[in-house]
A and B are shown apart, each in its own frame.
Chain A
Amino acid sequence: MPVLPLQRPRSTPRIPARLRRKARLLPVLPAILLLLVFLAGPVLWAFHASFTNAALTGRNARSPGWVGLDNYQRLVTDPVLPLSLALTVLFVGGSAILGQNLLGLTIAVLMKQARKPVAAVVGTAVVAAWVLPEIVAAFAAYAYFSRDGTLNQLLGWLGLGQPDWLYSFPMVAIMLANVWRGTAFSMLVYRAALDDIPADVTEAALMDGAGGWQRLAFITLPMIRSSIATNLMLITLQTLAVFTLVWVMTAGGPSNSSTTLPVLAYVEAFKFGDIGYGTAVASVLILIGAIFGAAYVRLLRQGKP
Chain B
Amino acid sequence: MTTAAQASRRARQARPSRSRRRAGLPADAALLLIGACFVLPLLWLVLASLDAGAGHQTRVPGEVSLENFVAVMTPGLLFHPLWNSMVLSAGTAAVNLAAAVLAAYPLSRYQSRFNRPFLYAVLFGTCLPVTAIMVPVYGLFVQLELLDSMPATIFFMATTTLPMAIWMTKNFMDAVPVSLEEAAWVDGASGLTALRTIVLPLMRQGLGVVFIFVFIQAWGNFFVPFVLLLSEARQPAAVSIFSFFGQHGAVAYGQLAAFSILYSVPVLALYVIVARGAGSSFALTGAMKG
- Does the CB pair B159–A35 fall under 8 Å? yes
B233 CB within 8 Å of chain A: no
- Does the CB pair A111–B31 fall under 8 Å? yes
- Does the CB pair B155–A289 fall under 8 Å? no
Q: B-contacting residues of A (Cβ < 8 Å)?
A: 1-7, 21, 24-28, 30-32, 34-35, 37-39, 41-43, 45-46, 49, 54, 61, 103, 106-107, 110-111, 113-115, 118-119, 121-122, 125-129, 131-136, 139-141, 143-144, 146-150, 153-154, 180, 183, 188-189, 191-192, 195-196, 198-200, 203, 206, 212, 230, 233-234, 237, 240-244, 248, 261-262, 265-266, 269-270, 275, 278-279, 281-282, 285-286, 289-290, 292-294, 296-297, 300-301, 304
Q: Return the contact of A286 from the options B133, B221, B245, B282 (Cβ within 8 A).
A: B133
Given contacts A1-B178, A34-B155, A133-B222, contact A43 B44 (CB under 8 A): no
Q: How large is the interface on B (under 10, 10 to 19, 20 to 34, 35 or more residues)?
A: 35 or more
Q: List 19 A-B contacts (CB under 8 A).
A: A24-B112, A26-B106, A28-B102, A31-B162, A34-B95, A46-B133, A125-B35, A129-B42, A131-B267, A132-B220, A140-B260, A150-B41, A150-B44, A237-B127, A240-B129, A241-B132, A275-B135, A281-B135, A290-B128
Q: Return the contact of B139 from the options A31, A49, A195, A261 (Cβ within 8 A).
A: A49
- Does the CB pair A133–B102 fall under 8 Å? no
- Does the CB pair B133–A42 fall under 8 Å? yes
17 new A-B contacts at CB < 8 Å, known A28-B107, A42-B137, A297-B127: A21-B110, A31-B166, A45-B140, A49-B139, A129-B41, A131-B268, A132-B220, A154-B40, A188-B285, A241-B131, A262-B131, A269-B135, A281-B135, A286-B129, A289-B128, A290-B128, A300-B290
How distant is the Cα of A111 from the Cα of B43 in the complex, in angstroms?
A: 23
Which residue of chain A has its CB nearest to the CB of B23?
Answer: A113
- Does the CB pair A265–B132 fall under 8 Å? yes
- Does the CB pair B129–A262 fall under 8 Å? yes
Q: Return the contact of A5 from the options B111, B133, B238 (Cβ within 8 A).
A: B111
B30 CB within 8 Å of chain A: yes
Given contacts A4-B110, A131-B216, contact A141 B41 (CB under 8 A): yes
- Does the CB pair A265–B135 fall under 8 Å? yes
B88-108, CB under 8 A of A: which get 1 and which 0? 000000010011101101110
Q: A-contacting residues of B (Cβ < 8 Å)?
A: 1, 9, 12-13, 15-16, 19-20, 23-24, 27-28, 30-32, 34-35, 37-45, 48, 55-58, 95, 98-100, 102-103, 105-107, 109-114, 118, 120, 122-140, 142, 155-156, 158-160, 162-163, 166, 178, 181-182, 185, 191-192, 216, 219-223, 227, 238, 241-242, 245, 253, 256-257, 260, 263-264, 267-268, 271, 280-282, 284-285, 288-290
How distant is the Cα of A126 from the Cα of B113 in the complex, in angstroms?
A: 42
How distant is the Cα of A39 from the Cα of B111 in the complex, in angstroms?
A: 26
Given contacts A25-B106, A38-B156, A144-B41, contact A149 B57 (CB under 8 A): yes
- Does the CB pair B99–A31 fall under 8 Å? yes
Q: Return the contact of A25 from the options B112, B185, B221 (Cβ within 8 A).
A: B112
B contacts with A: majority SS: helix
Counted as pairs of residues, one from A and one from B, with CB atoms less than 8 Å apart, the total is 315
A contacts with B: majority SS: helix
- Does the CB pair B162–A35 fall under 8 Å? yes
- Does the CB pair B120–A297 fall under 8 Å? yes
- Does the CB pair A244–B127 fall under 8 Å? no
- Does the CB pair A39–B128 fall under 8 Å? yes
Contacts of A290 in B (CB 8 A): 124, 127-128
How distant is the Cα of A281 from the Cα of B228 in the complex, in angstroms?
A: 19
